[in-house]
């Protein structure tokens, strides 16, 4: 417990320090890598646990920073050479982060039964959060065999409809759930959004694949749940109903359907057409106890009779308030505010974000992973925790990156090694690919499937019956369970009016 308290004190200071380095030259990634390799070197030299080693590293880095950023950069290059020669196999992971897993699968009991129906069930992350908040998932539905296998292995006694929602009536869904129209407390789901993706030809709601959204709306209208909760990726917010080739942009005024965000306007209009009070918000899973930066659009709709009874309006707060917080990430002020003022700045009263260390450092039983290719293995050894391709020596970068070296963009996912001291970046479906790497902080391998589950907030007894590549895709796209649980508790307590038992 003492180590956890000390670590909670250090975390916001670490984040504040790295915030001071942006842009060209010595970057935020360099700052992460610098603190990480310093802590590893101290640990290897003294045997100190990582919290103590990290505290020393931060104090050392801050003392140099007060002399100027150049002093930090110079020391980084010197310590980096020491780190390359160090025997990292001697790092004792059990002492490296002396704390237990803090991503808890909390469960709540409601004062009375509350029932949900799950559409587009996927990995069951959204629904597991509702389950932990006290909801009974009466039926799941998905067209994916992978989703069915995952569901059946972990909830073998619960009904599941494997099929195309276009061919399944609302009556059949309610029959499987054992409910009638109006009796469903919450309808959950994240309709696939392929027709609105940020690449490729788009036809918007005229695309046949957009039928998933329209079928979700159809079930809302016919099942009349008290509340619906819909999840979508944030890329949908800026998607255009009609694609405009890049070469044509700026040469003429855009039509309404060509404007960024035109898709989301139509989606919200369709949802509001159900008569429900509908509100959307972008929520970051890290703000709700997930050790991962993952933003998702959460739409909550309240049936008109319930909204009227509660006096809810468009100005009402339907989404949960954060339970955790990070540093002030206002980029406009990050470079201007003195470090001493910036350090530790966060919302008063909230604990700091959970980090990768608190999620996976104690895992010993790794369910599989797809190894890095031989070429990637040659170069990833040059990348400290928190770094990416930019930390590879300059003379090796062209060969390591190939044509991508000369392309534009930040290429932040190339040769990315995660840091212990921040939440994980948003999980991807191919963590061993060059452009989307998510390499373990200590070992030269991608994050494993079991580590994916921890990062997404699934309990340790969750059975994995899929291949490694299938599991990466299914769980990499999941709604983080702690985020879903926070939404579910808000809905149950404040909208449905069902308190804890």
Residue of 123, 143, 193, 283 marked active site: 193
Quote helix, strand, coil % in the chain, to nearest 5.
45, 10, 45
Give the residues across from 325 on adjacent strands: 352
Sheet bearing 227-233, strands edge to edge:
160-162, 135-142, 114-119, 186-189, 227-233, 295-302, 277-284
Q: Write the burial class of residue 411 (CB in 10 Å: 0-12 exposed, 13-18 middle, 19+ buried).
A: middle
DSSP readout, 329-386?
--HHHHTTS-HHHHTT---TTSPBPP-HHHHHTT--SPPP-PPPPHHHHHHHTT--TT
For residue 177, what are the contacts with CB-CB under 8 A and spacing of at least 6? 115, 117, 138, 139, 159, 184
Active site residue 66: no
* Distance, CA of 297 to CA of 4 (rounded, Å): 32
How many helices and strands in the chain, by DSSP H and E?
Answer: 19, 7
Contact indicator for 191, 212 with CB cutoff of 8 Å:
yes
Closest CA to 328 of 313, 308, 312, 350: 350
Catalytic residues, by residue number, are 193
């Amino acid at each position: 417990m003492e180590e956890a308290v000390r670590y909670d004190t250090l975390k916001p200071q670490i984040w504040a320090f790295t915030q001071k380095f942006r842009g060209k030259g010595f970057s935020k990634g360099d700052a992460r890598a610098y603190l990480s390799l310093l802590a590893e070197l101290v640990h290897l030299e003294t045997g100190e646990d990582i919290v103590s080693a990290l505290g020393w590293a931060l104090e050392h880095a801050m003392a140099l920073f007060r002399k100027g950023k150049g002093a930090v950069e110079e020391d980084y290059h010197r310590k980096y050479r020491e780190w390359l020669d160090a025997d990292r196999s001697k790092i004792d992971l059990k002492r490296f982060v002396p704390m237990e897993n803090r991503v808890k699968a909390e469960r709540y009991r409601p004062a009375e039964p509350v029932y949900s129906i799950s559409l587009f069930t996927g990995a069951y992350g959204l629904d597991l959060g509702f389950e932990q908040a006290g909801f009974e998932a009466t039926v799941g539905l998905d067209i994916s065999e992978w989703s069915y296998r995952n569901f059946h292995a972990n909830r073998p006694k619960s009904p599941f409809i494997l099929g195309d929602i276009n061919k399944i009536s609302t009556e059949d869904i309610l029959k499987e759930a054992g409910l009638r129209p109006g009796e469903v407390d919450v309808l959950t789901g994240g309709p696939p959004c392929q027709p609105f993706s940020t690449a490729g030809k788009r036809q918007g709601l005229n695309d046949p694949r957009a039928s998933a959204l329209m079928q979700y709306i159809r079930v809302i209208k016919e099942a009349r749940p008290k509340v619906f909760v819909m999840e979508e990726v944030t890329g949908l917010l800026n998607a255009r109903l009609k694609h405009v080739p890049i070469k044509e942009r700026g040469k003429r005024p855009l039509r309404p359907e060509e404007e960024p965000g035109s898709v989301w306007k139509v989606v919200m209009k369709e949802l509001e057409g159900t008569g429900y009070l509908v509100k959307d918000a972008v929520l970051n899973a890290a703000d709700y106890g997930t050790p991962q930066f993952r933003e998702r659009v959460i739409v909550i709709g309240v049936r008109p009779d319930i909204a009227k009874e509660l006096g809810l309006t468009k100005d009402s707060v339907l989404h949960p308030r954060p339970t955790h917080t990070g540093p002030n990430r206002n980029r406009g002020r990050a470079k201007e505010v003195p470090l001493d003022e910036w350090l530790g700045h966060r919302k008063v009263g909230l604990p700091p974000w959970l980090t990768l260390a608190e999620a996976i450092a104690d895992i010993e039983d790794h369910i599989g992973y797809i190894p890095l290719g031989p070429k990637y293995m040659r170069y990833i050894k040059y990348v400290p925790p928190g770094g990416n391709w930019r930390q590879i020596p300059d003379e090796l970068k062209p060969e390591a990156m190939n044509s991508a070296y000369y392309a534009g963009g930040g290429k932040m996912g190339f040769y990315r090694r995660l840091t212990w001291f921040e939440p994980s970046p948003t999980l991807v479906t191919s963590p061993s690919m060059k452009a989307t790497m998510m390499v373990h902080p200590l070992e030269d391998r991608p994050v494993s499937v079991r580590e994916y589950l921890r990062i997404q907030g699934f309990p340790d007894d969750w059975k994995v019956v899929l291949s490694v590549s299938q599991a990466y895709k299914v769980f990499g796209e999941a709604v983080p369970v702690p985020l879903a649980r926070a939404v579910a508790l808000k809905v149950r307590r404040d909208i449905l009016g069902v308190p804890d038992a």
